[in-house]
Chains A and B, each alone.
Chain A
Amino acid sequence: MSVFRAIVFTAAAAGLCVGLTVTAIQHVGPIPLILKAEVYEKQAEAARQAAPAPEAPAAASAHGQDGGGHNHAGHDHGGHDHAAAAWEPTDGLERNAYTALFNVVEWIGFGLGLAGLLVVARRPASWREGLFWGLGGFAAFALAPGLGLPPELPGAPAAELGARQAWWIGTALATASGLALMALGRSVLLGVLGGLLVVAPHVIGAPQLAEGASAVPDALSRQFTTAVTVTTFISWALLGALTGDFLRRFGGAELKS
């Protein structure tokens, strides 16, 4: 089997297992909190539309206020793109089916990355080796970005999306590279450089709103942060262990050299 095929098989099998498992866990952890937050979000939205909202954010005033105050048809609150025009799944089965589907897609994607890097680094494939890499993935793609940008509930105030996505991705990549340098680098200097890469994104700092009242109670947000962090920990640990084990099974002789 070619190396690429072995990686794809590994990632598909591991991603499917993790995606479905994590969907089940999300239904007792984060998702009930998302649904609760949406109740607050909709209340705040309704209140904002009922009042003339002098403190409306720039994005809202740009497309809602200039038609005499009553052209709120299709009006969407600022910075939040459940755009009225875009298709969205209906609540219930359809919405949950898409969540499951995207969880599987997401974790197959992470599985491809993890299995590929295991091969690039020429590490022996085993469940335990994979588990350590999975813990690295958890640190890079959940813990580190979550320090600056805690998992958000719908309705919580947040800085501009593009800036947050850029910081999030930059932090994940810097942390992953930093951990790799510390774990695999052949000199102390590389280890120190790795440490600096892990710290740097937090010195730069995540994009934050100066102020902004949240529609969602703080207690709910804190609960959500815990639920997401624990869920992603399970996902990454499982993805790592399964990827290591499947790669050993599917990889055969090519990957043992």
Chain B
Amino acid sequence: MLHQSTVTIPASTSKSTSAVAQALFAVLLGAFIVGFAGFSNIGAVHNAAHDTRHANGFPCH
């Protein structure tokens, strides 16, 4: 890896930029999922996730 020439640098830079973008998208998706399961105020979701919320220490009720 260390002996990659300067020619490959633009390509690997754009590749790692895209890797960061994909990873950030995954983080956002994760935040959305955690928010839905742990913080959604919809009654039926709250009731189904009730014990999960309490047992994971999320604010509930």
A residues adjacent to B (C-beta < 8 A): 2-4, 7-8, 11, 26, 29-31, 34, 79-83, 85-89, 95-96, 98-99, 101-103, 105-106, 108-117, 119-120, 122, 142, 145-146, 149, 151-154, 158, 161, 164-165, 168-169, 228-229, 231-232, 235, 254-257
- Of B15, B29, B44, which contacts A87 at CB under 8 A? B44
**B30-58 vs A: 1/0 string, CB under 8 Å?**
11111011110101101111111111111
- Of A89, A101, A152, A257, which contacts B60 at CB under 8 A? A152
Q: Are B57 and A146 in contact (CB under 8 A)?
A: yes
Q: Are B25 and A4 in contact (CB under 8 A)?
A: yes
Contacts of A232 in B (CB 8 A): 56-57
Instruction: Give the secondary structure class of B's interface.
Output: helix
B51 nearest CB neighbor, chain A only: A99
B54 nearest CB neighbor, chain A only: A34
B4 nearest CB neighbor, chain A only: A257
Looking at chain B, what size class is its interface with the partner chain? 35 or more
Q: Are A149 and B59 in contact (CB under 8 A)?
A: yes
Q: Are B61 and A108 in contact (CB under 8 A)?
A: no
Q: Are A112 and B29 in contact (CB under 8 A)?
A: yes
Q: Are A105 and B19 in contact (CB under 8 A)?
A: no
Report Cα–Cα, A106/B48, bound state, in Å: 13
Contacts of A95 in B (CB 8 A): 51
Q: Are A102 and B37 in contact (CB under 8 A)?
A: yes
State the 6 A-B residue pairs at the shortest beta-carbon distance, nearest first: A86-B43, A112-B30, A109-B33, A88-B47, A116-B27, A119-B23
